Amino acid sequence: MHGEPLSPQDIDVTTPSVARMYDYLLGGEDNYDSDRKACEILLTEVPSTRELALNNRLFLRRVVRYLAEERGIDQFIDHGSGLPTRDNVHEVAQRVHPEASVVYIDNDPIVLAHGRALLATNKHTAVVQADMRDTDHIFEHPETRRLIDLSRPVAALFVSVLHCLPDEDDPAGLVRDVMRRLAPGSCLVICQLVSEHSHVRAFVTDFMHRTTHGNWGRVREEGEVRAYFQGLDIIDPPGLVEVSTWLPDNDLAPRQKTFEWKEWGGVGIVP
């Protein structure tokens, strides 16, 4: 599934990329006109989209800090990591554990180019070019084997990526495949886009599928995401929640204000 390596020459700037759209919503500069136009359409139909992206990034920082500080985890595998931005996983983790190991997984050539440049001097961090569905390739990759000790607890991150997988790719099965490779005490961080409104699920799913030329899955419902946690002990409180309410730093921390759709999930421990 991992196929031939992609290079910057492979970038189709006319087709929006989920990673570059997310970069635009976060105020980044590594995006193209096609990405920006797609985001503006989403913002018209689903006005909370930018707020959702920002809150999701804050959740990622909080959860990594929590796992490093409270659970002592110093190994992270970030599936579908996206473009580098301020306070990446390794920066948050290494403030707690200076030698924390982080493996970023992505197959977007822009992500790879920027990530490798950013991490060139950080020996405890690597970017692996892979499709996140190709678990064998990821876990057998030399960089993963160099940095990750599977006999000790690992945090596997699936933050805002499983909605990119269609049902036929079995995202719940992917989570189980990763879970069975991890030592007891490991944690899986899982959240994805959900909506209680059928028209929002239908619009966003259809729009993103057409816009990205099929590189999309589905906006799901909470019950479907809950099934991803089967076999895991959910950290509760806070349980499975809209992510801006997952152990917020304080009462003034940003919250999602409208709920056309939301990022929903939490953290499960491998028993």
CA distance 72 to 206: 41
Nearest to 183 by CA among 106, 74, 78, 63: 74
Nearest to 219 by CA among 231, 234, 209: 209
CA distance 175 to 79: 11
Per-residue pLDDT at 4 exceeds 60? no
How many CA atoms lie within 13 Å of 160's alpha carbon, on the beta-carbon side? Answer: 21
Residue 198 gets which letter from DSSP?
H
Any bridge partners for residue 105, and if so which?
79, 128
Token pair for 192: 């994805």
Each residue's pLDDT tens digit, 207-259:
999 988 888 999 999 999 999 999 999 999 999 999 999 999 876 666 666 66
Question: What is the domain partition of the chain in residue ranges?
Answer: 8-269
Which comes out higher in pLDDT, residue 191 or 15? 191
Per-residue pLDDT at 178 exceeds 90? yes
Which CATH architecture is the domain 8-269 placed in? 3-Layer(aba) Sandwich (3.40)
Q: Residue 6: what pLDDT?
A: 43
Per-residue pLDDT at 5 exceeds 60? no
Residue type, 48: S
Q: Residue 23: what pLDDT?
A: 86
CA distance 38 to 14: 11
Work out the percent of the chain whose per-residue pLDDT is above 90.
65
Nearest to 194 by CA among 260, 126, 244: 260
Per-residue pLDDT at 129 exceeds 70? yes
How many CA atoms lie within 13 Å of 138's alpha carbon, on the beta-carbon side? Answer: 24
Per-residue pLDDT at 164 exceeds 50? yes
Token pair for 109: 């050539």
